Amino acid sequence: YDYYSGSFDNSTGEISLDRMYEAESNVDIKVKSFKVGKEFNSVNSVTVEVTAKADVDLRLKLDSRQSDDNLGAGDLKELSMKKGETQTVTLSFSGWQYSYWIYIKADNTMVSLQINP
């Protein structure tokens, strides 16, 4: 994957994200903002910008998990994009009152973020 990893700290609103691996992908994903609750099973959201590097039909998928066997609700959006086009998309997910992770994937691009509510 064209792989990015980082974290979001809800108390400061700070998003940190680093590119871990570079690979060919038809899309770029930029994380723009979060809305995260501190209660168990709160409905949260992340807004991302998806930019197409080629004409592409893709699935933008978000998975939420606290561990390998403690999964939360995620989201899926289907996009049809032209080369150079950018779309802003908001994805929803459930969370916990302690740290957990979300994974956003489209084409061969993956973003992994630890959420600190």
Render pLDDT for 63-87 as a digit per residue (tens, 0 to 9). 999 999 999 999 999 999 999 999 9
The confidence band for 38, taking pLDDT boundaries of 50, 70 and 90, is confident
Res 41 pLDDT > 80:
no
**pTM (predicted TM-score):** 0.94
> Nearest to residue 114, comparing CAs of 2, 8, 1?
8
107 and 58 in contact (C-beta within 8 Å)?
Answer: yes
92 and 63 in contact (C-beta within 8 Å)?
Answer: no
What pLDDT does residue 37 have? 87
Q: What are phi and psi of 33, to 5 degrees?
A: -160, 165
- CA–CA gap between residue 15 and residue 21 (Å, rounded): 19
